[in-house]
Amino acid sequence: MNATVMELAAQRAPEIQDAGSSLTAKIRNFCQAIRSNDQSFPVLHENIVGLERLVFAEDRATPEAALALSEMTAEERTELNNAYCAWETQLECQYAQDILSGKETTLDNYFLNKRFEQLLNRELSLLNGDPPRRILFVGSGPLPISAFHIQRATNQPVDCLDRDASAVQISRQVIEKLGLTDQVRVFDGLGERFDISEYDLILVALLAKPKRRILHHLRKRAAPGCRILCRTAFSLRTLVYEPTPEIALGGFQLLAQIRLDTPTLFGQFLQLGLRTFQLR
């Protein structure tokens, strides 16, 4: 428990302890349900959506929320983060197959479509100066939903990168099926090794891994002035979304940070400081 929580707990221990423990118990109920799930996606879907709803309802700067967060073990956090990753990946795969089968012809009915549309519009609204012309999205997955919205908003071609060969294959098929081969390309490669020297805007997905090594590579190899957006999470939201380690942001200048009120994540715009880039 951190110092702030300890001090507040000393002042109002019974109320805070009861509320915090109650919230922890609710979160652990979802954790147990996810752990007990026998590879059933509908059950996983129900529990992830329920966990999101709980986390965002309680995600306020309160002693109770801080206490609940401190009571969750590192193993429990990792378990929930992995469950969310598996859920979103499966969600993308299912909708990608719906597109390939002809059941869906647009992105409109994708479960997270509106969420990402809103997120991208907010993220891109933070850009200052010249509009981006070479855009890379790292960690695009089997359904590169963010890349589609970036391309639509900027009217610029977008390159995608993913380390999973099967995700790359599926996403290329989806892009072809939607008639977007001239607008969106997908490369099979590692975010910590890919040549990023020609891009002036790079977005790093929430599920992109290993985040620390990817950001280290961007800091070393991106062009001076390249704008980098890294999605992350704070406070209770880290129980759903894996956060970006603070140490991974060393060497970057933080330009802006946004938070959406809908169940989503944070976006941080980073820019390589010229001095730091040259020194390192």
**Does the pLDDT at position 266 exceed 60?**
no
pLDDT interval class at 173 (50, 70, 90):
very high
Domain extent listing, the chain:
3-101, 113-279
Omega prior to 210 cis, within 30 of 0: yes
Summarised one tens digit per residue, pLDDT across range 103-118 is 999 999 999 999 999 8
Question: Strands, E, within the chain: which ranges?
Answer: 135-138, 158-162, 184-188, 201-204, 227-232, 252-259, 266-272
Among 60-64, 196-200, 210-214, the least confident range: 60-64
Summarised one tens digit per residue, pLDDT across range 105-164 is 999 999 999 999 988 988 888 887 789 999 999 999 999 999 999 999 999 999 999 999
Does residue 205 contact residue 141 with C-beta atoms inside 8 Å? yes
Q: What is d(CA 222, CA 274) in angstroms, rounded to the nearest whole number?
A: 11
- CATH 1.10.3860.10 for domain 113-279: no
- CA-nearest of 226, 169, 157, 165 to 190 is 165
pLDDT score at 200: 93
What does the mean pLDDT of the chain come to?
A: 86
- CA-nearest of 225, 234, 229, 233 to 214 is 229
Among 1-15, 178-192, 232-246, the least confident range: 1-15
Predicted TM-score (pTM) of the model is 0.86
- CA-nearest of 179, 173, 180, 178 to 159 is 180
pLDDT score at 254: 80
Q: What is d(CA 132, CA 226) in angstroms, rounded to the nearest whole number?
A: 9
